Structure formats: C-alpha cells, structure tokens
Amino acid sequence: MCGRVAQFGTFREIVELLRWPGPAEERQQADARYNIPPSTLVKLLHAEGDTLIQDLVRWGWRPHWATDNRLPSNARVEKVAHSSYWRAIWPHRAVAPIEGWFEWVKDQDDPKKKLPFFIRRADGLPCLAAAIGQFPTGDQEQREHDGCAIITDEAAGGLVDVHDRRPVILPAELVAEWLDPATRTERAEQLLLQQSEPPETFEWYRVSTEVNSSAHKGAQLITSIER
C-alpha cells in the first residue's frame, strides 16, 4: 500500500471541507485522474504561513545520500517520525487529497491472478492522506529532489481482507493542526497513531482489471463490477 490513487475532486471542494481559516492558493492545477501511479505527480496540500497551498509534487522521495535507485512512495507510521531515512522531510508535513486508492487481492478461483479493488470513504468525502515531502515554497520552481511520501499504517477491521497496509487518513478537523509547522513533533505523531480515521470509515468494491495498466485513466476505473 498504496500503489495507485485517484484524484478528481476540486481544490475548492477541499478548502470548503477543511473550513480552512486563512487564504488558499491553487498554485498548480491538475485534471481529474483516476489511476495515478508512484513516481508521477500528485496533488499535494501544504501550508505556507496561514496560506493553504496546492502543488503538484512527484509521488516518491529518497534522501540525497541514498545509494540505491529506490524511490519509496510510502512511509510507515511506525518509523517515520524517528527514522534517519525520513528525518529531512518529517518536519515538512502535507496532505494528499485522494478520492480513494486501489489494492489487489488474490483470486480465490485462480491464485495466480490478482483482482483490483477500489477503497474510498463510505460517505463519499475525499480521503485526506497524511504525507511528508520536499516541495517548492514561495516562488521556487520544482527541483530535482522534490517529492513526497504518503504515510501508511497497519490495516485493521475488514480492510485486512484487502491489504495489510492502508494510508493514514486524517479527519478534516485535524488537518490544519497537522499542517501547522508550530505543531510539536510529539503531537504530530499522536495525530497519525491515535486519531486517524478508523476502518469503518471506508468501503471497498471490485473494479475492472483495466486499472492494472497505467495507460488506462478514465472514470470507469472506479466503477463497481459484479464479482
């Protein structure tokens, strides 16, 4: 988790959901996308002072000193606040507003096959996925080492049947505190570990295997199909 996400909501909808108390700037816009893989650009929210900013940032990051070619797209909540790997970007908190994410489950009739499922909030609201990253501020342009990672936790409840990990989804009322640079490290970690949305917040259903290819990008990818 999580290997593909969908982002098709508008910035205005997100700002209204968050009831953001200050100004908001959609610095970079993006069309609706239903099959976003790692290493490509995702919409990312972060705070500059009291302004909520939306940028497009590469989904994946590694520290400059890493010697391998991996570009991790997810950071484990159990380690992210204390790991030397993520130390440089842990203070740079963000949110990836996603409408849902995809996971693959072994076909009971043919274990060699995996069937895709789409997971979303049961109430239809966007999922506010906690993230950290290195991203432009002010008038900066995108830089070579910019990127972000979505924070994940162990799955619980029925979600375990789909995958053993899931993104940490924050309640809308806690996002401002998460994004605030003044929020102490201990409190930020508490938000992730103790106050994320519970498993019963979500629903999931099987979707077309078209999503297996990132070449397919349409809204039909999140339509439920008969089992």
Residue type, 77: V
Q: Which residues pair with 5 in a beta bridge?
A: 36, 101
Average pLDDT estimate for 27-47: 95
| pLDDT number for residue 16 | 97
List active site positions: 2, 103
Kind and range of the H or E run holding 115: strand 110-121
User: Domains plus CATH for the chain?
Assistant: 4-103+126-199 (3.90.1680.10)
Tell me whether the omega of the peptide bond preceding residue 148 falls within 30 degrees of 0, making it cis: no
pTM of the model: 0.93
Percent share of the chain, pLDDT over 70: 93
Indicate whether 93 pLDDT > 60: yes
Average pLDDT estimate for 190-196: 96
- Please write the tens of the pLDDT for every residue from 116-158: 999 999 999 999 999 999 988 776 666 778 999 999 998 766 5
Q: In terms of pLDDT, which residue wins out, 87 or 141?
A: 87
Indicate whether 69 pLDDT > 80: yes
Whole-angstrom distance, CA of residue 186 vs CA of residue 207: 39
Average pLDDT estimate for 162-181: 91
Indicate whether 161 pLDDT > 60: no
Kind and range of the H or E run holding 110: strand 110-121
| pLDDT number for residue 122 | 96
Whole-angstrom distance, CA of residue 103 vs CA of residue 145: 28
| pLDDT number for residue 52 | 97
Q: Of the candidates 7, 174, 191, 15, which has an alpha carbon nearest to the alpha carbon of residue 101? A: 7
Q: Using alpha carbons, list the distances in angstroms from residue 172 to 20, 120, 133.
A: 10, 15, 20
Indicate whether 207 pLDDT > 60: yes
